[in-house]
Structure 1
Amino acid sequence: MKYYIGTSGWSYSSFRGVLYPEGLKSKDWLRFYAERFNTVEINATFYRTPRKSTFEKWYAETPQDFVFSVKAHKSITHVKRLKDVEEELKTFFKSIEPLKEKGRVILFQLPPSLTFSKEVLEEFLAKLPSGYKHVVEIRNKSFHNEEFFELLRKRGVCLCFSDFGGRYASWVEVMTANFLYIRMHGRERVYFSNYTEEELKELSQTIKRFNAEEVYVYFDNTGLGYAVPNALRLREILRMNS
């Protein structure tokens, strides 16, 4: 079982003093981050398309075995809502080519208002290119059905376990691929609350129970910087129990 544990993004002022030394310039944050974590989620790609030179810089500043999980652009998930997205998918995957083998994990974050449609999902999943680990994060209870899970299994697409403290009905412990993908957004206060030792141990037990080939965990409780110690502590707990 291989673990990839990190945070949802690295460019946060809240990480100063928690991860980054006070005098470290922001241009050096990723390099510093990658010396301590083996993966990170890229959130910026959801809002805009970074320049090719930016992706090339990120690639150059990280170790050979580092993994970027790239969030798909909102035009795919939130604007066109998975329908008729051939061009959007083509543009997105073309844009991330400079990440090469480090950018092979792709996250599709669905909006809370999007409900399950077998026809839409089937067509969308069929358009996803091979050679990537695709992940879907749901935020609507209508996706809690075996038909949806089977569509994911058929394509080897991973259902994200997503903790929003009970909001959005997004935590569903159903394994649909040979790897696990978990997002920890914060329990009591989304993006801001700290995970307790007990909660992190509970998470480690969940991870162990599924016995996946690879496990990707990202802490998105970045508002006050708790994502950093939470990610480091989970990694420590998993190592102790391996």
Structure 2
Amino acid sequence: MRGGNTNGPDGNLRKDVETALLRPNLTPWQRTFLTDIHARLERSGGQARLSDKQWRKIFEILGRPNNVIALPPRTVTAYPPRRQPSKLFRPRFGWVGRRLRWRLRNLAIGFLIVAAVALGQQVFNLGRGQFQSTPTSTRALQTQEFSVTDGDTVHVVGEATGTRLVGFNTPEKFSPQCEYERQLGERASSRLRELVAHGSIQLTKVACACAPNTEGTSECNFGRSCGVLQVDGKDVGSILISEGLAVSFVCGRTSCPPAPRPWCKG
């Protein structure tokens, strides 16, 4: 998801959406989509968190290019300086006090060294075990660690862009070609949320089918990463295909064919 900054490139996003809703040429799904976005902005005081796909659809409806929105800078709060004890209340121990303080300091330093070594050993053993068992995948992801954008896209918490699941394509719910596709896209999204909420999850990042030196840029998959999501050891794409909520979509090493969208034919 994007950060809290919902100002558009030319002004406040909420005002732009209100202006767009006055246009008579909006399609029903565009009006529904903008109304939902406006309601979220109203509830959050202009601080709604929007996905990459939602941003692209907003700019598409507003007639603007898909500008890259910079995440708002993180605010770093400095800790206040520690207060030094007043000289009036500093105890005077003399030679005995200085020797006692010296012994206590050395004891504390020794304890910290032993604790650091033990902690480092535990971290090393944990990291070695994870590396040996799963060198290329993120295992045991819980549902709260990523969100479902639609039937074939998820967004891992902490990452700036989403992750496109490969091997299949689901109906579009944000820019459908017909009402049936929108309804089917909503069902695919709901089904994916249901799957990840009730199973053992494994998300494995894989290379995207991009031209050389373009992966991670807007020229490749809108800057998103690519991955394979399994629930209880079974690929979610195979599950959605078997239930009629997705179709097979296989790319080559450096490019993809046009995404299949058969839901509005006939």
Larger Rg: 2
Higher relative contact order (CA 8 A, sep 6+): 1
Q: TM-score normalized by structure 1?
A: 0.22
Q: TM-score, normalized by length of structure 2?
A: 0.20
